[in-house]
Amino acid sequence: MRIVRFKTKNVNPQYGWVYQDKVGQIQGDPFGDFRRLEPEFKLSDVELLVPCLPSKIIAIGKNFPEHAAEMKSEVPQLPVIFLIAPSALIPSGDPIILPPQSTQVEIEGELVVVIGKQCRWLEASELKSAIFGYTIANDVTARDLQRADNQWARSKSFDTFCPVGPWIETEFEPSDAIITSHINNSLKQMSSTRDMAFDPYQLVLFTSTVMTLNPGDIILTGTPAGVSQIVDGDTVSVHIDGIGSLINPVQAEKRFIKE
């Protein structure tokens, strides 16, 4: 099942579900008890929103060996987790705004785990019921600022730096799915989730030993090799087989910092 958040001119933001090229409303809580109503809106007529409302965005660094190598680093012994501000979220279709502070903004296409229920210290046997589904993110990064700072909060949390969507696929099987990223029509990243150092299940288990995970929280599982710079006028498309495509145009920030 594909879960979206959407709005129209006459319908307030809410959860829905996608059936072929139509969207139906959801009555109740998609993370609890709910009923699917008949699809009545054309997908092309609704505005898709970020597909869930995370209390926190957890991200994983250096989880693909080839990406760690291109960063002149190695896969760590335990997952490296960091946080991205929820204010950085945008849906598929919205523009990524290049901030004037950076001259090197890069894309990172990633598989996202969406948490389904509140959990801490998960056991492996509880994993399937703790995961609501999967979606796609672009962990946009100001690479020059990431290098300049000793941690990554600034370089990863500019407004618009966390496109997520277009929907949550609840039936997705994450063991061997191809992730690709294109800038315009040029292929930049291509890898299988099979190449992850720590698979999505290990990442959820590990994270749950650190912090309480809430329904709708998301875990970005790390990017393959091929991270590449974007400039004003580009369009980025991250595709994962079995989920869909997250597509965002790129624009330069219109205001400038006074030195």
Q: Beta-carbon neighbour count of residue 1 at 10 Å?
A: 13
Alpha helices in 71-156 (DSSP H): 127-130, 143-148, 153-156
- When the beta carbons of 108 and 234 are compared against Mg ion, the nearer one is 108
Query: Tokens in use for 252?
Result: 């330069």
Nearby residues of 50 by Cβ (< 8 Å), 6 or more positions away: 5, 89, 90, 91, 164, 165
* Segment contacting Mg ion by CB under 5 A, of 33-41, 162-170, 217-225, 242-250: 217-225
Question: Is 234 a residue that touches Mg ion (CB under 5 A)?
Answer: no
Question: Is 146 a residue that touches Mg ion (CB under 5 A)?
Answer: no
Query: Tokens in use for 58?
Result: 């957890």
Virtual torsion, Cα 152, 201, 226, 172, nearest 10 deg: -120
Near Mg ion in 60-99, by CB under 5 A? none
Pattern of binders to Mg ion over 95-114, x per CB under 5 A? Answer: -------------x------
Q: How many chain residues touch Mg ion (CB under 5 A)?
A: 3
- When the beta carbons of 23 and 204 are compared against Mg ion, the nearer one is 204
* Segment contacting Mg ion by CB under 5 A, of 25-33, 73-81, 86-94, 135-143: 135-143
Q: What single letter denotes the amino acid at residue 244?
A: G
Strands in 13-108 per DSSP E: 14-19, 22-28, 34-36, 41-42, 47-49, 57-61, 80-84, 89-90, 96-98, 105-106
- When the beta carbons of 42 and 147 are compared against Mg ion, the nearer one is 147
Using CB positions, name the residue nearest to Mg ion.
Answer: 139
What DSSP element (H or E) covers 191? strand 186-192
Candidate list 94, 139, 169, 234; residue touching Mg ion; CB under 5 A: 139
- When the beta carbons of 61 and 244 are compared against Mg ion, the nearer one is 61
Pattern of binders to Mg ion over 152-181, x per CB under 5 A? Answer: ------------------------------
- When the beta carbons of 23 and 164 are compared against Mg ion, the nearer one is 164
Query: Tokens in use for 126?
Result: 């509880």
Residue 73 C-beta: closest distance to Mg ion, Å = 13
Which residues contact Mg ion by CB under 5 A? Answer: 108, 139, 223
